[in-house]
Amino acid sequence: MSEILILFFGAVAAGLLGSLTGLGGGVVIIPLLTLGFGVPMHYAIGASLISVIGTSSGSAVAFVKEGFTNVRIGMFLEIATTTGAIIGALISGILNPNTIGIIFASILIMTVVLNLRKKPDHQEPIVGGSLEHKLQLFGTFPDKGVVKEYSARNTVSGFFMMVFAGIMSGLLGIGSGALKVLAMDNMMKLPFKVSTTTSNFMIGVTAVASSLIYFQRGEIIPVIVAPVLIGVVLGSFIGSKTLIVSQTKKLKVVFAVVVSILSIYMMYNGINHNFK
């Protein structure tokens, strides 16, 4: 019982920090379970995926109502991310836990770097006859009382980047939000508010696709998943309420240092074959 309570409060902290920094709770849940509690890697990934579904679903509804999320672009790119997520989940069943730990550590460092970078903000006009125009990958969003128009660019490269993001999500049990935003910001040149909210809308669906495979393999354990899910959702809720009064820039730097240390420790354990 005491271990479940400790796991619950650890998940609350993961959800809180993930919400405040935008990295998501999954990047903390995996090290917490594997390094802190000795949970086998594949069980930790299964629990993390369920928590990703929970945290994404609640906020996604709010962003859609506010008019920031582009559902059409999100559903189009979901073809890529869900395909990638299924591939990643299948690859996870083949790879040994130590290899997954090394890959996780590498992606974690990449995620931190991407999160600390200054985010570009685009507002591209609609080009008649383009692929984006034919697929209707454009829309509007509210900005300080003004409705602004935008259109996607470089759809093909963005689509393949989304496949990679989906593979990492299914393989590692994380939302891969930073990779999704990278594809939509840097490649498809969508406005920052649109890319972040659309990414959040997509994360839950992507996690569902891969979690079904983990469930089929018996790698989603209720006694682990329940406290993690409740804790992360509660932590994310608290984080969303305190986000306005928090000094997020300083927090991101501190959290980046902590996550970088965790990633190095995970890589060390992976190289020394310490994961189960």
The torsion of the CA quartet 113, 200, 93, 43, rounded to 10 degrees, works out to 90
- The CB density around residue 88, as the number of other CB atoms within 10 Å, is 27
- Lowest model confidence (mean pLDDT) among 13-22, 122-131, 251-260: 13-22
**What is the domain count for the chain?**
1
Q: Is the pLDDT of residue 39 over 80?
A: yes
When pLDDT is averaged across residues 212-226 and rounded to a whole number, the result is 92
Tell me, what's the pLDDT at 193?
79
Q: Are 32 and 11 in contact (CB under 8 A)?
A: yes
pTM score, two decimals? 0.88
Quote the domain boundaries for residue 201: 1-272
Distances (CA, A) of 153 to 74, 80, 178: 14, 16, 19
Q: Compute the distance between CA of residue 152 and CA of residue 158 in angstroms, rounded to an integer.
A: 10
Model confidence band, residue 96 (pLDDT cutoffs 50, 70, 90): very high
Please say if the pLDDT value at position 119 is more than 70.
no
* H or E segment and range at residue 148: strand 146-151
What tokens appear for 225 in the block? 């998943």
pLDDT for residue 92 is more than 80: yes
